Structure 1
Amino acid sequence: MKLTSLRIITKDIRSSVSFYEQITGLKAQWYTEDFAELSMPLITIAIGSTQTMKLFGEHMTESESTQSTIIEFLVSDVDGEYERIKEVTDHIVQEPTTMPWGNRSLLFRDPDGNLINFFTPVSAEAVKKFS
């Protein structure tokens, strides 16, 4: 089994795609007016409007709570990314903080309220884990 994609369902696809283009530095590939993807070497972020959920079934028009998932990005300099990200969004949840497991972490929200974590390993164990 191989995890290939993370799909985000949004009410405002243009805003969400623009946001993810800004934070990743990637250009989205649009397939329809309701579906776009940002491809990275190991995973693709797919973004679909709530309209795409109707294709999965009659009662699938609304996404559920975004409170239990964090989308995480390994970055080389979380403090540098913080300076850039605070220009993109004012929904910073936690400024860069070193966590007990050895990652320095920046937590913020996308336009739909999804939590995003940019992190940089800083302890010897965390650096080794992600090398």
Structure 2
Amino acid sequence: MRIGEVSLLTNNVIELANFYKTLLETENGSNDGIHQTIISEETMLTVYNDGSVKNNTNQNISLAFTVDDINKEYDKLVKLGVDIIEKPTARPWGTINMSFYDPDRNIVYLRSFNK
């Protein structure tokens, strides 16, 4: 068994999907306000409005992405006006990590591995 999809439930699919398309530098050709697939590889990332009202006090899940150049990504996020939780910080286990909030206040981590 393997994980097939991570779906972010939201009241504003277009805003959240556009954020992740910008973050991940991808385009899906969709402006659908109900459901969008952002990543469609082995494990999918989707944004979905299931019709229920969300409180956007998400505290039990986070997303993490591995990137090649964390400083480049940090600069991009600052230019986008993203609410940064932690700037890029070297970790003793060999990564450089940073964290921030997406538009729905989900915590997102970026990491790069020391070369």
Q: TM-score range by the shorter chain?
A: 0.7 to 0.9
SS of match in other structure, 2:79: coil
Q: Deviations over 1:61-115 (max 9, x none)?
A: 2447421222000101111111111112331100100123221011011000001
TM-score, scaled to structure 2: 0.86
SS of the aligned residue for 1:95 comes to: strand
**Aligned pair count?**
114
Q: Tell me which of 96, 103, 107 is aligned to 1:104.
A: 96
Mapped partners of 2:25, 2:31: distance in 1 = 19
Indicate the structure whose relative CO is greater, using CA pairs within 8 Å and at least 6 residues apart: 2
Q: Distance in 1 between matches of 2:87 and 2:100?
A: 8
Asked if 1 retains the 8 angstrom alpha-carbon contact of 2:12 and 2:33, the reply is no
The structure whose Rg is larger is: 1
Which residue of structure 2 lines up, in the alignment, with residue 81 of structure 1? 73
1:1-131 matched pairs, under 5 angstroms:
1-28=1-28, 30=30, 32-51=32-51, 61-63=52-54, 65-122=57-114
User: Taking every aligned residue pair, what percent have the same amino acid on both sides?
Assistant: 18
**TM-score after normalising by structure 1:** 0.76
> RMSD value over aligned CA atoms?
2.0
CA distance in 2, matches of 1:40, 1:118: 20
Gaps of 5+ in 2: none
1:120, distance to aligned residue in structure 2 (A): 0.3
Checking the alignment, whether the CA contact within 8 Å between 1:71 and 1:116 is kept in structure 2 is yes
**SS of match in other structure, 2:93:** coil
Find the aligned partners of 1:31 and 1:81 in 2 and give their Cα distance: 24
Distance 1:62 1:79, change over 3 A: same
Amino acid at match of 2:66: L
Quick one: which amino acid aligns to residue 94 of structure 2? Answer: G
> Any idea what SS the aligned residue of 1:27 has?
coil
